[in-house]
């Protein structure tokens, strides 16, 4: 979703376009819901405001969910052989409960993640209990990188990493974004235009 905080004008008449104005107002409301106003500086224009793909909720804890499934299967075998004093229903309910708690936590983590590109900065906000904010001026961004893990490639997702001057590693990343190559191109265009 691309959000711009400018009032569109008709090129022919120079008058404010009502449809564009309504769309801009809706975009501003969405931005306000996702991004605390204190993070924006006066006159800063939001170019891009996105969240990770909803697939993030399932793909990020995938190893944990697979481990839970394997533990469930092992416990079912032990129950079948009468080596543990619980029933298969209890084991199944326990596995479902553990997986559900992990998915709810991951959903809250997904809700807390916001990726923002403005005409001045790159911002990443994340964290449920301990909120963290990374921000860097566009002029300090030295490199960007687009990464694709196997699970991301299967769902058309990718991760965009940012490095700043003086570091040898990725300092912040926009994890599991949809259409990563398009998003990366928008980031590169903004870096070239505003640096």
With cut-offs at 50, 70 and 90, classify the pLDDT of residue 85. confident
Which segments of the chain are extended strands (E)? 46-50, 114-118, 121-126, 132-137, 141-147, 157-164, 172-178
Q: Left, alpha or beta for 42 (phi > 0: left; psi -120 to 50: alpha)?
A: beta
The reported pLDDT for the residue numbered 127 is 92
pLDDT at res. 9: 32
| Residue 187: φ, ψ to 5° | -65, -45
**What single DSSP character describes residue 39?**
G
95-147 tens-digit pLDDT: 999 999 999 999 999 999 999 999 999 999 999 999 899 998 998 898 999 99
pLDDT in tens, 22-70: 555 555 555 555 676 777 777 888 899 999 999 999 999 999 999 999 9
Tell me the Cα Rg of the chain: 22
Q: Is the pLDDT of residue 7 over 50?
A: no
Q: What is the DSSP letter of 30?
A: H
- Looking at CATH, the fold of the domain delimited by 1-10+47-52+114-195 is given as PH-domain like (2.30.29)
Q: How confident is the model at residue 160 (pLDDT cuts 50, 70, 90)?
A: very high
């Amino acid at each position: 979703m691309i959000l711009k905080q400018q009032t569109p004008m008709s090129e022919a008449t120079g008058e404010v376009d009502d449809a564009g104005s309504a769309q801009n107002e809706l975009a501003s409301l969405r931005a306000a819901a996702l991004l605390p106003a204190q993070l924006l500086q006066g006159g800063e224009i939001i170019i891009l405001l996105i969240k990770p793909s909803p697939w993030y909720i399932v793909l990020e804890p995938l190893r944990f969910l697979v481990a839970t499934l394997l533990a469930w299967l092992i416990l079912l075998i032990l129950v079948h052989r009468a080596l543990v004093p619980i029933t298969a229903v209890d084991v199944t309910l326990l596995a479902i409960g553990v997986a559900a708690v992990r998915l709810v936590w991951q959903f809250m983590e997904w809700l807390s993640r916001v990726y923002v590109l403005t005409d001045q900065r790159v911002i990443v906000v994340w964290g449920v209990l301990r909120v963290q904010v990374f921000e860097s001026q566009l002029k300090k961004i030295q490199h960007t990188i687009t990464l694709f893990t196997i699970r991301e490639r299967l769902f058309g997702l990718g991760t965009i990493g940012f490095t700043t001057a003086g570091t040898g590693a990725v300092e912040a990343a926009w994890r599991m974004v949809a259409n990563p190559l398009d998003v990366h191109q928008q980031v590169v265009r903004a870096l070239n235009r505003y640096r």
